[in-house]
Chain A
Amino acid sequence: MTILILPRKNFEKDIEKLDEKMQEQIAMFGTPIESISDEAVHIEIFPNRPDLLSYGNYINALKSFLGKDIGLKKVNLNKPEKDFIVYVDKSVSKVRPYTVCSVVKDLKLDDNNIKEIIDIQEKLHLTLGRKRKKVAIGIYPLEKIKFPISYKALNPEEIKFRPLGFNKELNGKQILSQHPAGKEYGYLLNNFDKFPVFIDSNHEILSMPPIINSDKTGKISLDTKDIFIECSGNDLNTLNKILNIIVLSLEFMGGKIYQISIKGAENIITPDFTPEKMNLSLLNLNKLLGLELKEDNVKKCLERMGYEYSKGIVKVPSYRADVLHEVDLIEDIAIAYGYDKFIPEIPKISTIGRTDFKETFKMKISDIFIGLGMIETMSYHLVNKDIIKNTEQNFKSFIEVKDSKTEYKFLRKDLTSCLLNILSKNLDVEYPQEIFQLGRVFDGFIEKEKLAVALISGNFTRLKQIIEYFSKMLDINLEIKNPKSFPSYFIDGRVAEIFFNNKPIGFLGEIHPKILNNFRLKMPVALFEISIDDILNN
């Protein structure tokens, strides 16, 4: 979950009082409030809206939603200054082919701003940037570098600079093995012969993306006024969106955005805020939402969500990463219209309902045993080591889930061990205890529906009577025969195999004293477990 913190003081200065009504509006904008205090409100930003991941961008969007400064956001772009050029060398085409860049001037940075810039960078790396795989972002004080800049790939041994936070020079390979960022993201470069770098006209290496900046040129401070930003990666479209999101948040901090000429196989100028165009049909819109919105109303709704609309064509802001289809526009229109204004209605569609036969059958089985005064139980589908150990089964025969955060790591293979475990947890509850469970077990990767019944204190004869009653109620014929072999948790001579239509479907018997001992049970337990699927399939 990605959280954005809005300081209360700033919010109330930039928007209005953060009263209950405003809190409701924030939730209805699609950014639920996680927590709220006198200092700040914490809101959740959904993964489809990375463009809201900075205070400034969020405030702009919310303002527009509330009806102030609506429509496509006007961005003041300054043309590239004389040397504002980044040359993209052919050598990067295999490893990290694209870059888009910008300069932002006249920033007045304080500790909070710097923290926020780092924060936006990290959040964008994680989300849209796919942990730097798709996009990595670098930010540098402009005064430390000299344009024009080159983006090229070099042999790792040729790359020598002092990475952020280090006091000695390392080469490309050493950065991957020694620097914390190298260790974390090194896998993104490891398989390549050459690593990408940004170099300025003083032949100073600025950074080795997507890993780390140089300590000398890549550290912004309170004195920094002008900055250079580069985004590098393999998807030009996403790069543009990320750069636009960043420069917009910097503009909110008072910065002036300057474009840069990117020269390579293709010459482009970035940042580029040209909106994308998408068709919108009023018919589709009203049909999907169940409304009768008129065109001027739709236009107003779209403008409040930051779009521009004219004659069936919507201009989508260049920083929106989530608009794939008309339905995405329709949802935004619904949000602007107000989810609380929709009148819920059950459609006049009649169908004939019925429950699934298997589920009805299982409910019937439950009723039979509840009728006998037994208690239905429910265990986790995952079991822990103790349960396996106590039933003296082999761990290797269980399927283990990867990296479980609890001690429950194995898919259960039977219900018997779950019932014994329940009895063992209820030693001090009044006897006799008669319990059952219906549930799914895992025989390898095959899932099976089983039924198990356990009695404490119980014996073979009583259990046999229960099975006979059960088969009579279901009107099925269950045969009980001497087993050729049986699970080792039963006592030899006090166990039988249950057959349905000549097919073995399970066992009944008394539990071996040594297993009872493992579960600290002091009374005899009689138990059966059968496959429900085998009965159902006939």
Chain B
Amino acid sequence: MQDTFFLDSEGKLPDKKLVNNVKKSHESGCYGSKGWQYQWNENEAKKMVLRTHTTCLSAQTLSKINLDSLPKKFFALGKCFRNETVDWNHGFEFNQTEGIVVDKNVNFRHLLGYLKEFFEKMGFSKIRFRPAYFPYTEPSVEIDVFHLEKKQWIELGGAGIFRPEVVVPLIGEFIPVLAWGPGFDRILVDYYGIKDLRELYENDLAQLRKIKIWKK
């Protein structure tokens, strides 16, 4: 939580039933899980923050999903925030793409299929998948793309299948949810031939006038 922006205020939690399900899932588990075995603190959950991931959108969407209408797919593009110092490669704001596919018959190979397609469309022909860790997905995967100029693997984003401890409190049963959330500022920067992430927010009008023509 070191890189989270906290605000000096308390938010509201969703309805009691959902909160209790989440609490139980964390403390003692559900659906055959042992849970994380700690005391889930309601006040901690109420703390107002600027979101660090768009994953919260997927959680909210799942909590409202109609299970009779599966399969369902959703995506979002969203701003995320991290309390970091700013340099050419880091900012305190960045963009994330969030996607979920909800269906009883989807699996890990399908997740890799979507990711491969997405990154190929983004112009990366050489990609690799490697094991990763995110607290809310299992299995988890990190996508590296091979940067032709830099001649090295670059980490572009994480994905996975939501853990039962995440899904069950939200929808009441375990259905595989393929989920991905790669940042795309680095893709943007590459596309526009920008060397420094800060330039995205610089609003240098001379540069923007040129970029617009060039883009077309």
Using CB atoms, name the residue of chain B closest to A130.
Answer: B38
B88 nearest CB across to chain A (Å): 14
**Complex interface: chain B residues within 8 A of A327 (CB):** 138-139, 161, 163-164
Using CB atoms, name the residue of chain A closest to B140.
Answer: A331
In the complex, the answer to whether B110 meets A345 with C-beta atoms within 8 Å is yes
**B29: CB under 8 A from chain A?**
yes
**B71: CB under 8 A from chain A?**
yes
**B186: CB under 8 A from chain A?**
no
**A215: CB under 8 A from chain B?**
no
**Complex interface: chain B residues within 8 A of A375 (CB):** 205, 208-209, 212
**B92: CB under 8 A from chain A?**
yes
The 8 A CB mask of B122-150 against A (1 = contact, 0 = none) is: 00000011111101001111100000000
**Complex interface: chain B residues within 8 A of A349 (CB):** 71, 73, 101, 103, 106
In the complex, the answer to whether A381 meets B79 with C-beta atoms within 8 Å is yes
C-alpha gap A408/B79 in the complex (Å): 16
**B50: CB under 8 A from chain A?**
yes
With most chain B CB atoms within 10 A of its CB, the pick from A340, A380, A399 is A380
In the complex, the answer to whether A380 meets B48 with C-beta atoms within 8 Å is no
- Contact (A325, B34) CB under 8 Å given A30-B133, A347-B113: yes
**Complex interface: chain B residues within 8 A of A405 (CB):** 83-85, 92
- Contact (A344, B116) CB under 8 Å given A32-B142, A327-B139, A401-B83: yes
In the complex, the answer to whether B204 meets A426 with C-beta atoms within 8 Å is yes
At the interface, is chain B mostly helix, strand, loop or mixed?
Answer: mixed
In the complex, the answer to whether A425 meets B7 with C-beta atoms within 8 Å is no
In the complex, the answer to whether A426 meets B206 with C-beta atoms within 8 Å is yes
The 8 A CB mask of B12-53 against A (1 = contact, 0 = none) is: 000000000000000001011111110000000000101000
Q: Which residues between 423 and 444 of chain A lie within 8 Å of chain B, taking CB atoms?
A: 425-426, 429-430, 433, 435, 440
**A476: CB under 8 A from chain B?**
no
C-alpha gap A63/B164 in the complex (Å): 31
In the complex, the answer to whether A325 meets B29 with C-beta atoms within 8 Å is yes
- Contact (A402, B7) CB under 8 Å given A324-B35, A342-B129, A347-B106: yes
C-alpha gap A340/B81 in the complex (Å): 32
**Complex interface: chain B residues within 8 A of A340 (CB):** 128-129
**Interface residue stretch chosen among A97-105, A197-205, A283-291:** A283-291
Q: Which residues between 474 and 530 of chain A lie within 8 Å of chain B, taking CB atoms?
A: none
Q: Which residues between 379 and 410 of chain A lie within 8 Å of chain B, taking CB atoms?
A: 379-382, 399-406, 408
The 8 A CB mask of A333-354 against B (1 = contact, 0 = none) is: 0110001101111110101010
**Complex interface: chain B residues within 8 A of A370 (CB):** 212
In the complex, the answer to whether A288 meets B176 with C-beta atoms within 8 Å is yes
With most chain B CB atoms within 10 A of its CB, the pick from A237, A347, A422 is A347
**Complex interface: chain A residues within 8 A of B206 (CB):** 426, 429-430
Interface residues on A, range: 35 or more
In the complex, the answer to whether B113 meets A346 with C-beta atoms within 8 Å is yes
**B66: CB under 8 A from chain A?**
no
**B191: CB under 8 A from chain A?**
no
**B184: CB under 8 A from chain A?**
no
C-alpha gap A375/B212 in the complex (Å): 9
**A377: CB under 8 A from chain B?**
yes
In the complex, the answer to whether A334 meets B139 with C-beta atoms within 8 Å is yes
Using CB atoms, name the residue of chain B closest to A421.
Answer: B203
C-alpha gap A149/B138 in the complex (Å): 43
**Complex interface: chain A residues within 8 A of B138 (CB):** 325, 327-328, 330-331
**Complex interface: chain A residues within 8 A of B81 (CB):** 381
B96 nearest CB across to chain A (Å): 14
In the complex, the answer to whether B108 meets A289 with C-beta atoms within 8 Å is yes
**A48: CB under 8 A from chain B?**
yes
Name A's B-contacting residues (CB within 8 A): 27-30, 32, 46-49, 235, 237, 287-291, 324-328, 330-331, 334-335, 339-340, 342-347, 349, 351, 353, 370, 375, 377-382, 399-406, 408, 411, 422, 425-426, 429-430, 433, 435, 440, 445
Name B's A-contacting residues (CB within 8 A): 5-9, 11, 29, 31-37, 48, 50, 71-73, 79, 81, 83-86, 92-93, 101, 103, 105-110, 112-117, 128-133, 135, 138-142, 155, 161, 163-165, 176, 200-206, 208-209, 212
14 A-B residue pairings within 8 Å (CB atoms): A48-B135, A235-B37, A237-B37, A289-B107, A289-B108, A290-B110, A326-B32, A339-B141, A347-B101, A400-B8, A402-B6, A406-B86, A429-B206, A445-B11
The 7 closest A-B pairs by CB, nearest first: A290-B107, A30-B131, A46-B133, A290-B109, A344-B112, A325-B33, A331-B139
